[in-house]
Structure 1
Amino acid sequence: MEQYAPLSEDAKQAFAVELHFRELKKKEVYLSQGEIPKKIAYVCSGLLSYYTIQENGDVVIKRFFAEHSFVASTAALVKQTPGLFAIEALEDSLLIEFRFEQFKQLMHHYTDIAFFWINYLEENWVARKEEQEITLKYLTARERYLNFIQNNPTLVNRLRQHHIAAFLGVTPTQLSRIRKEL
């Protein structure tokens, strides 16, 4: 958390009271599509995907959450509406989770926690979302794959080919062809 904003000892102690560990097994769903989320979690270890299933059955992965990231269906969490995305563990994972309502109360009481949250959202949701939208709209499938492996070198060997394909918006067969061409 300190990478986004320094926290006072009082804020750290107040926040620590709200934390709970949760283990997920590989393929275990953390949040179902259509569920109204109540919690957010920090990924201590493991890997999760943030995805939706389209009407035709295709899986579209919007994001991966690895170690040292916060996992949530953020828009649904903030609006308290049914989530459009599901979150599933791709590996056995250890999370530290906390209830968002209590976190909001802490933000009202501790400005350093509020600054942390603002900085985290700016860096990990606003800026990243814009970059991802540009990538998906203007780059070819080959360029998207090269961009993915350049920006996510530690994930490439942890993900199955169909996960990468679902993230890039291509079929596994198309991804296989791209990889053979390189």
Structure 2
Amino acid sequence: MRAWSSLLRPRQYSKEEPFIRAGDVPMAYAFVVEGLLCQHYVGRDGDLIIKSFFLENRIAASVSATLLGEPSLFTITAIEHSIVLEYDFAAFKSLVSDFPDIAAFYISYMERHWIIKKEPDEIAFLHDDAMQRYIDFIRREPELHKRLKQYNIAACLGITPESPSAGCEEQSPSQGLTDADAISYQTSILSRPDCSISVGEEPP
């Protein structure tokens, strides 16, 4: 791994600062030391759509565009102030054939985060309704969801941000609560037969 560490360049990104812009041909990957980034694009109707979140110990990258040497379809932006270790992917790739341990790590990482982890999400989009995807996200990512605004979660899950439905409006005290508290409260009443909530808030 020493050969790989020689390629690493420390870099900091302020909140809302882009690491990769849509339309650029990306050359680098970034290992997230501290902070949180997201990969996103703008849909046909002008809605924000989030493809992935990259938190600590994840590698932020526009993988397909980097491999193909083509303009990225996505932007990767820091949601929080973030510290990363960037490295040139072409230089990293040249190490793979000479260092089996690096090759094994990279293959294992890609299998886990870009194949195995994404498959259930793809199935969920086909078979689960929006609320079920929301509940599953909170169960699957209990710490991550506390760091996100509700509209970030909605943009990731394909849920249109809107106020609580009329069936729960009188019961919900979520107005005035923090986003995390509102999410926790809404989740606690999802099982009520007289209540159906659609999550989210409009971004500022």
TM norm structure 1: 0.89
TM norm structure 2: 0.80
3-state SS in 2 of match to 1:30: strand
Q: Which has the higher contact order (CA 8 A, sep 6+)?
A: 1
Which consecutive residues of structure 2, in runs of 5 or more, have no partner in the other structure?
A: 169-182, 191-204
Mapped partners of 1:77, 1:106: distance in 2: 16
Deviations 1:105-144 (A, max 9, x none): 1101111111111111101001122111101111111110
Mapped partners of 2:43, 2:3: distance in 1: 41
- Identical aligned residues as a percent: 38
Is 1:148 matched up with 2:141? no
Equivalent pairs counted in the alignment come to: 170
Mapped partners of 2:76, 2:64: distance in 1: 13
Question: Could you tell me which residue of structure 1 aligns to residue 77 of structure 2?
Answer: 88
Pairwise CA distance, 1:55: 2.9
Is 1:127 matched up with 2:121? no
Is 1:18 matched up with 2:1? no
Question: Could you tell me which residue of structure 2 aligns to residue 9 of structure 1?
Answer: none
Residue identity in the other structure for 2:97 = H
Mapped partners of 2:142, 2:94: distance in 1: 37
Taking the TM superposition and a 5 Å limit, the aligned residue runs for 1:140-179 are: 140-173=129-162, 176-177=164-165
Q: Bigger radius of gyration, 1 or 2? A: 2
Question: Could you tell me which residue of structure 2 aligns to residue 58 of structure 1?
Answer: 47
Pairwise CA distance, 1:16: 1.3
Is 1:98 matched up with 2:87? yes
Residue identity in the other structure for 2:96 = M
